[in-house]
Structure 1
Amino acid sequence: MKGNAGESCREIEVPVAWGHIAVKTWGKEDDPAVFCFHGILDNAGAFDGLISLLPKTFYYIAVDLPGHGRSSHFPEHLPIHTINYILAYKALKGYFKLEKFTIIGHSYGGQIGFLYAQMYPQHVERLVLLDAIISMPVPASWYVEYMKEKLEMHLEIEEKLATRSPPSYTYEEALNRVQFSRNWGTINRDAARALLNRAIQPVDGLEGRFRFTLDQRLKNFINPTVDLRYVVDAYKNAPLHCPTLIILAKETLLQQHFKRLTKILAKNVVIKLVEGKHDVHNDKPEVVAPLVEKFLLCKKHKL
C-alpha cells in the first residue's frame, strides 16, 4: 500500500527553547518512524510528492528546519552554523520519544543527517541521503577568506534586516521565485507550489501580497571548517554503522567532488544514480520512490 500526502496529514508544533519546530506527519505513531529533512531554503513541502508514493506502514515526520517554512527562527543576531541543527534533530527525537528511527535527508538535511548518524549511531536505524553526502569541506587554503566572507556577509544581512522592509510579492510572483530562482536548477510547478504553501505569509494591510518567512541568515550559513582530508579521517574513525542509501542525481554528480570519501565508504553504504537534477525527489518523486521503498521494506537491509 502506498501513502497519500493529503491523507490523514497532521500539523504539529514541537516546542523548543527558541520557539517551535513545525512538522507534518502521516501514518500511525506506533509504526516505525521516518524523519524527512529538507535542503537549505526549502521546507517540509519538498516531501509531499515522495511520501505519497511510499508505503503506508511507516510514520513519516516531515520537518520544517528552524528558520524555514513555519518553524521559528534561531535566536537573532548570530550567524547560523550547521552544528545548530543537531540541536533540532535532538529536540525532535526527544519530543517523539524515539529510541531508533530512519532519516531521509535531502541536500543540507542529508548532510546533517550524515553527521547525526556519526554522532549518535545508536539512534539511527537507516539513513537515506538524497543528492547529499557530507557538508562541503573548506580547504585550508581558503579558511581565512571563507571565515572573513561569512562574517562580512552576516553584517550586511543584519544591516538590511534593520534598515529595510522585506519585499512583498503576489502569489504568482512568489511561485515563480520558488520555481525558477534556485541554485541547482528549476523545478516543476507542482513541486514549487508544495514548497510555497509553507514559505509565505500574507502582508498586513496589503491585500494579495505575501512575504517569505525564511530566515535570511540561512543564505550565509557556516559549515564546519574542515577540509576533505579531515573528513576522510573522521569517517574512518566514525563510519556510518546503519544501512545507508545514497541517491545521487546524474545532473549534479556530487560523487565527483567526494571521490576520496566514496572510495572508503563501508559496505553498508550503497550509492545509486538516477536521472534528474538536484531536486529530483520533489520534481520527479516517481524516479526516487522505488529505490527508497525497497530500502525501507528490506528487513535484511540488503539493496
Structure 2
Amino acid sequence: MEYSVTEIKVPVPWGHIAVKTWGNPDDPPIFCFHGILDNAGAFDRLIALLPKTFYYIAVDLPGHGRSSHFPAHLPVYTTNYILAYKALKEYFKLEKFTIMGHSYGGQIGFMYSQMYPQHVERLVLLDAIIPITVPTSWFIDHLKDKLEMHCEIESKLASRQPPTYTYAEALNRVQFSRNWGTICEDAAKCLLNRAIEPVGGSDGKFRFTIDQRLKNIINPTVDLRYVVEAYKTSPVCCPTLIILSKQSVLNKNFGRLTKSFGKNVVFKLVDGNHDVHNDKPELVAPLVEKFLLCKRHKL
C-alpha cells in the first residue's frame, strides 16, 4: 500500500507553516517535529518504514524549510514555537494526537506535553529530552552573548548578500557540516529538497532558506535543578518513548532528570549519532512501531 502524500500551507499571523502529510486524515494523527536547522524531510526515510495506519503530519517549523520566518529583527525564543504547535493543533482540529520530535522539535514537544497534557496521547522523543539548561553561574554571560550574537547576525544580514552554492556544494554542506556528525547522502538529500531555493539570474545556483537567527536560539534560561522541580510539579503524563543514540551527549548529562521520570517513560539506546532516525531509520523504526501499536502501556 502506497502513502498518500500531501503538501499543505497552514496560515499563521506571520505567514504560513509548511506541512507534509502522509496517509489518511481519518487515521490517528502524529505530529512530526524536526531538529534545529533541519526540516520535515528529516522524517521521510523513517515514516516510510512505520505503520501505514497513522496520519503523519511532518512540519517545517517556522524559519525552516518552506515555512515563513518569524517576524524580522527580534531574537527567536524557544517559547515562540509553542505558538506554532498550538496553531497546528487548531488548524487540523485535533483534540488528541501523538508528538514525535527529534532534538529541538522533541524538546519543544516535551514542554508542550507538560503545558497541555490533555491533548498529547503519546510522546516519542528522538535523541531529545529537554531544552539545554544554563547553570546559574553562567546566566548573565550566557544572555549577554546571545544578545550580542543577535546584533552581529542582524548586521551581517543588512550588509551582505546570502551566499550561493551549486547543488553539489549545498548537498556537501548538509551532509558533512553538521554539529553532531555526518549523515549518509540519501538522508542529506531528504533535507536538502526542502532547504534550498534557486537563485534568479544565476546558472544553477541555490541559496539556503533557513532563518539565520536560528543559529542563535534563546532557550528558557533556567538551570537543571529548576527543570527537575518543574517536572515533578508538571510531569509528562502520557506514555513516552525516548530513543537515544549511543553517541549522544544526553546519555551522560541528564541523569538527574531521568531519575525523576515515572513508569510511563521507556528508554531505548541505538547505535548511531544524533541523526540516527534519518541516517539509519531501520534501527529506529522497529522501536517506534512497537510503541505506537502497543494498546496497553504500563503507567
Q: Does 1:34 align with 2:37?
A: no
Alpha-carbon displacement from aligned partner over 1:82-129 (angstroms, at most 9, x marks no partner): 000000000000000000000000000000000000000000000000
3-state SS in 2 of match to 1:122? coil
The match for 2:168 is 172
3-state SS in 2 of match to 1:246? strand
Q: Which residue, out of 217, 230, 237, partners 1:234?
A: 230
The match for 1:184 is 180
Q: Which residue, out of 41, 59, 65, partners 2:61?
A: 65
Percent of aligned positions with the same letter in both sequences? 77
The match for 1:202 is 198
3-state SS in 2 of match to 1:114? helix
**Equivalence map 1:1-303=2 (5 Å):** 7-302=3-298
Q: How high is the TM-score relative to the length of structure 1?
A: 0.97
AA of the residue aligned to 1:242:
C
Distance in 2 separating the partners of 1:121 and 1:174: 40
Assess if the C-alpha contact under 8 Å between 1:295 and 1:302 holds in 2: no
The alpha carbon displacement at 1:253 in A equals: 4.2
Alpha-carbon displacement from aligned partner over 1:177-200 (angstroms, at most 9, x marks no partner): 000000000000000000000000
The alpha carbon displacement at 1:298 in A equals: 0.5
3-state SS in 2 of match to 1:62? strand
Distance in 2 separating the partners of 1:71 and 1:257: 33
Distance in 2 separating the partners of 1:229 and 1:129: 21
Distance in 2 separating the partners of 1:286 and 1:255: 21
Assess if the C-alpha contact under 8 Å between 2:4 and 2:24 holds in 1: no
In the TM superposition, structure 1's runs of 4+ consecutive aligned residues that sit over 3 Å from their partners are none
Q: How high is the TM-score relative to the length of structure 2?
A: 0.99
3-state SS in 1 of match to 2:118? helix
- Count of matched residue positions in the alignment of Structure 1 and Structure 2: 299
Assess if the C-alpha contact under 8 Å between 1:65 and 1:71 holds in 2: yes
Distance in 1 separating the partners of 2:141 and 2:35: 25
Alpha-carbon displacement from aligned partner over 1:236-291 (angstroms, at most 9, x marks no partner): 00011000000000011413111100011011011110010000000000000000
Question: What are structure 1's unaligned runs of at least 5 residues?
Answer: none
Distance in 2 separating the partners of 1:8 and 1:95: 19
Distance in 2 separating the partners of 1:113 and 1:26: 20
The alpha carbon displacement at 1:74 in A equals: 0.1
Distance in 2 separating the partners of 1:102 and 1:168: 38
Distance in 2 separating the partners of 1:253 and 1:221: 19
3-state SS in 2 of match to 1:251? coil
Alpha-carbon displacement from aligned partner over 1:10-35 (angstroms, at most 9, x marks no partner): 00000000000000001111110000
What is the alpha-carbon root mean square deviation over aligned residues?
1.0
Distance in 2 separating the partners of 1:201 and 1:182: 20
